[in-house]
Chain A
């Protein structure tokens, strides 16, 4: 089912949580709402679910499959909602938790006990929890609870699955295992899904599409490749992974990052480069065009070699190199080297700079 959001605004007192959001979620896609805390992502998810209401008077509209659900309450929207802290019914067994959505259906639609049992059993096997049907939520681990919460949400055959920081409360290992599993699950059931996360790695790994949010507005919408390799602005670039920031200026139509004194400064410029897009050269090798810096620390234990350098303005530069490439130019602390940006993203103010630049 497709979802269209039009003119969604939401204020809490004087705080504007969402500022005129217009967004479309395509049918069957798994979308991530990605942003720092306070960016409005959870509020937006809760508005889609009907757990929160968009501000009135701005012609806000929510369409499920072209049909307006703007005014309809959460229990009529047929959405599966998975809470960050699971919100399992603590006094019910795992089985009864999953059966809940079926048991509260109006009498005319309610399946009989046999059908309920069959369905719950099927869902238990879908989330690989068959043996735990008679347990109570407090007896389960975090990862198990989250699977049950998901099975419970799926029991009502929702038109859309909404997950609020689904792995936020789990430890790192369970987290990565569970998100791979969520991706597989989505590939099996193909229900339109939206999940909220502040973890860029999670979004990049799991989602078909990423909506990057910041301070109540959408910064960029795109595939993981899009937002990672072609960030629309400085915020997206910085939020989606480690970056080195080099400060410069716009000077007679050029973005200049050399240390030569400024002649006529028009604006501040910044160059953002990911650690893996920087190369290290010895001063006499290559063109010599780059930023001179001194090696501070070298960490070779890990999947990449991490080199920390200090430039002449005393700022830290991080470089990630493959072990192979590092072996070509091994460096030692205190060595003077040149750092060469490979794929720089240049910004004049907040906007992308497409003109020339000089390093």
Chain B
């Protein structure tokens, strides 16, 4: 039996109210603030050198972190889903670690490792290598934080699919690489794409961990989220919201691709 009309109406109002208050309104405000002073102000804020540098750095970090985590994620899922070995559960737990710890702690780990007072600090200083407060630190932290996305997406999928198709391919004479490219990869491609999209969104949007290791050097070590914070703290709201509108746009594009992938994989 359907619940009475007033119950349905109440539930619908609550969910729509929440959605409006916490999702639609903030998004609307970002766009409103970003374009309030006019399109030319938005355009100028985005084209300002420091902003461009921040965008470039964000893209660079994602361009390094995402492919590395893709390779790692596929390799780890393959190992975990298709084989039984000692330490398998431990590896599974380890993959979840970046999700479990606060992003600030994730950043601090790298400061403690590579910072001037850190374990490897003196050695790095001797060899004139700078990791913390520089691009390598940002890349490393981002890799750490976005580490689980691809693997988390693939492990359940590959476990469910089992390894019989791979064994069949082997018995038909395929070598390891052929098995991977012709059998495993096509079977996981939608899940993989989904994981990569989420990984990319997080890599571009990460704030906490990156903030700890970046050092906030304008035009050098500020990613887009950090750049927005700096502008906001300087009461430069128009520019801050212009940057925010870019990240919001990224989120919307991600969601669109994600729905498309879900739709396609539902069809396949």
Question: Is A87 touching B172 in the complex (CB atoms < 8 A)?
Answer: no
- What residues of chain B lie closer than 8 Å to A103, measured between beta carbons? 182
Q: Mark B172-185, 1 if CB is under 8 A from A, else 0.
A: 11110010001100
Chain B binder among A77-85, A245-253, A272-280: A77-85
With an 8 A cutoff between CB atoms, is B112 at the interface?
no
- What residues of chain A lie closer than 8 Å to B182, measured between beta carbons? 89, 100, 103-104
Which chain A residue has the least Cβ–Cβ distance from B181? A104
- What residues of chain A lie closer than 8 Å to B187, measured between beta carbons? 90-91
4 closest A-B pairs by beta carbon, nearest first, are: A101-B172, A87-B164, A81-B171, A104-B174
Question: Is B174 touching A87 in the complex (CB atoms < 8 A)?
Answer: no
Question: Is B173 touching A83 in the complex (CB atoms < 8 A)?
Answer: no
Which A residues lie at the B interface, using CB under 8 A?
49-51, 73-76, 78-81, 83, 85, 87-92, 100-101, 103-105, 149, 152-153, 155-156
With an 8 A cutoff between CB atoms, is B92 at the interface?
no
With an 8 A cutoff between CB atoms, is B168 at the interface?
yes
Question: Is A91 touching B171 in the complex (CB atoms < 8 A)?
Answer: no
- What residues of chain B lie closer than 8 Å to A80, measured between beta carbons? 171
Interface of A: prevailing SS? loop
Q: List 9 A-B contacts (CB under 8 A).
A: A74-B170, A74-B171, A87-B167, A89-B168, A89-B186, A100-B174, A104-B175, A152-B172, A155-B172
With an 8 A cutoff between CB atoms, is B10 at the interface?
no
Question: Is A75 touching B167 in the complex (CB atoms < 8 A)?
Answer: no
Within 8 A of A (CB), among B110-165: 164-165
With an 8 A cutoff between CB atoms, is B97 at the interface?
no
Which chain A residue has the least Cβ–Cβ distance from B174? A104
Knowing A75-B174, A75-B175, A156-B173 touch, does A87 contact B168 (C-beta < 8 A)?
yes
Contact of B167 among A83, A104, A149 (CB under 8 A): A83
Question: Is B173 touching A101 in the complex (CB atoms < 8 A)?
Answer: yes
**B167, B171, B182, B186: most-surrounded residue (chain A CB, <10 A):** B171
Q: How far is the CA of A92 from the CA of B185 in the complex (A)?
A: 12
B79 to chain A, nearest CB (A): 18
**B172, B173, B186, B187: most-surrounded residue (chain A CB, <10 A):** B172
Q: How far is the CA of A86 from the CA of B268 in the complex (A)?
A: 20
Q: How far is the CA of A73 from the CA of B171 in the complex (A)?
A: 9
Question: Is B186 touching A79 in the complex (CB atoms < 8 A)?
Answer: no
Contact of B172 among A73, A85, A92, A100 (CB under 8 A): A100
Q: How far is the CA of A92 from the CA of B174 in the complex (A)?
A: 16
Q: How far is the CA of A149 from the CA of B187 in the complex (A)?
A: 18
B33 to chain A, nearest CB (A): 47
Q: How far is the CA of A104 from the CA of B170 in the complex (A)?
A: 10
Interface of B: prevailing SS? helix
Contact of A153 among B164, B171, B174, B178 (CB under 8 A): B171
- What residues of chain B lie closer than 8 Å to A92, measured between beta carbons? 186
Knowing A75-B174, A90-B187, A91-B268 touch, does A100 contact B169 (C-beta < 8 A)?
yes
- What residues of chain B lie closer than 8 Å to A78, measured between beta carbons? 173
Which chain A residue has the least Cβ–Cβ distance from B171? A81
Q: How far is the CA of A293 from the CA of B83 in the complex (A)?
A: 57
User: How many B residues are at the interface, by size bracket?
Assistant: 10 to 19
Q: How far is the CA of A206 from the CA of B164 in the complex (A)?
A: 26
**B167, B170, B173: most-surrounded residue (chain A CB, <10 A):** B173
A13 to chain B, nearest CB (A): 11
Knowing A100-B182, A104-B178, A104-B182 touch, does A89 contact B165 (C-beta < 8 A)?
yes
B202 to chain A, nearest CB (A): 29
Question: Is A49 touching B164 in the complex (CB atoms < 8 A)?
Answer: no
- What residues of chain A lie closer than 8 Å to B183, measured between beta carbons? 89
* Apart from A73-B170, A100-B169: 18 A-B pairs, beta carbons within 8 A: A51-B170, A75-B173, A76-B173, A78-B173, A80-B171, A81-B171, A85-B164, A87-B168, A88-B165, A89-B182, A89-B186, A91-B268, A103-B182, A104-B174, A104-B175, A105-B173, A152-B168, A153-B171
Question: Is B173 touching A104 in the complex (CB atoms < 8 A)?
Answer: yes
Q: How far is the CA of A155 from the CA of B169 in the complex (A)?
A: 12
Which chain A residue has the least Cβ–Cβ distance from B169? A100
Q: How far is the CA of A246 from the CA of B162 in the complex (A)?
A: 47
B191 to chain A, nearest CB (A): 13
Q: How far is the CA of A103 from the CA of B174 in the complex (A)?
A: 9
A12 to chain B, nearest CB (A): 11
Question: Is B168 touching A81 in the complex (CB atoms < 8 A)?
Answer: yes
Question: Is A153 touching B167 in the complex (CB atoms < 8 A)?
Answer: no
Which chain A residue has the least Cβ–Cβ distance from B176? A75
Question: Is B170 touching A83 in the complex (CB atoms < 8 A)?
Answer: no
Which chain B residue has the least Cβ–Cβ distance from A46? B167
Which chain B residue has the least Cβ–Cβ distance from A90? B187
Knowing A90-B187, A91-B187, A100-B182 touch, does A49 contact B171 (C-beta < 8 A)?
yes
**B164, B165, B168: most-surrounded residue (chain A CB, <10 A):** B168
Which chain B residue has the least Cβ–Cβ distance from A51? B167
- What residues of chain A lie closer than 8 Å to B170, measured between beta carbons? 51, 73-75
Q: How far is the CA of A85 from the CA of B161 in the complex (A)?
A: 12
